Amino acid sequence: MDRLLVNYHTHTHRCGHATGEDREFIESAIAGGIKVLGFSDHSPMVFPSGYESGFRVPVSKAADYFESLTALKEEYRDEIEIHIGVEVEYFPASFDDYLAFIGRFPCEYFICGQHFIWDEEKGNSSFRPTQSEEILASYFDNLIEAVKSERFLYIAHPDLINYTGDAEIYRRHALRFLEVAKEYAMPLEINRLGLEEGRQYPNDLFWQCAAETGNRAIIGIDAHTPGPLSDTAMHRKCIEYAEKAGVELITGNLLK
């Protein structure tokens, strides 16, 4: 594999921390040689308490998200295959209600990006540095439940948790998750944005464990601007990362 042909991890300006028009993302993907482009902005969610997230597509813009991309999917059908999904956390207590809400829209797939542990409203951010084994265990417990729900196309940046404690503790909990992911044949994402920006992910130890367990990976660009979709040099670095880790990459269309 010497170039990236599919990407299911693309955001839009509606989430509030991405920029660019929908059409610009598509044009950039075509320029970069991508054949299958999936949009998966941070999903709108209705919170019973009335809480409004500043992290995701507002509920008021949900229809616009799906309507705009549906029209562009048709317009570009002869140039690129477009799919419309969302990136969403798995919150077990409210997930059935979430599915009832999102079912009103033509959503083709979910990717799981666990930015919060158990509950967004309590502010349990996976980005926050921690040495707590309890938080680490809860993060991977959340992902295990997400995999077992069989609702997700893949797990985005499964190594997002910013754990700064003992490596052996991390390894033990990561392996718990990886074994379940392998059992369910769940693809795991090597995140291009994290690699480019030098974030806490991709986590080398996580991917060493994934290679041992035999998990398969997919590259997600996690595009928040159009440019990364045509940055083939950075795409290659992601491929090289997977090769160095010894993890098998998925190259085909997961939505076929």
Confidence at 99, pLDDT banded by 50, 70, 90: very high
Q: Give the number of C-alpha atoms closer than 13 A to the C-alpha of residue 220, restricted to the C-beta side.
A: 30
CA dihedral 7, 12, 17, 19 (to 10 degrees): 100
**In the chain, what are the domain boundaries?**
6-249
Q: Rounded to whole angstroms, how far apart are CA atoms 2 and 164?
A: 34
CATH architecture of 6-249: Alpha-Beta Barrel (3.20)
Confidence at 1, pLDDT banded by 50, 70, 90: low
Model confidence over 192-233: pLDDT tens digits?
A: 999 999 999 999 999 999 999 999 999 999 999 999 999 999
Is the pTM higher than 0.95?
A: yes
Q: Give the number of C-alpha atoms closer than 13 A to the C-alpha of residue 27, restricted to the C-beta side.
A: 6
Average model confidence (pLDDT) across the chain: 96
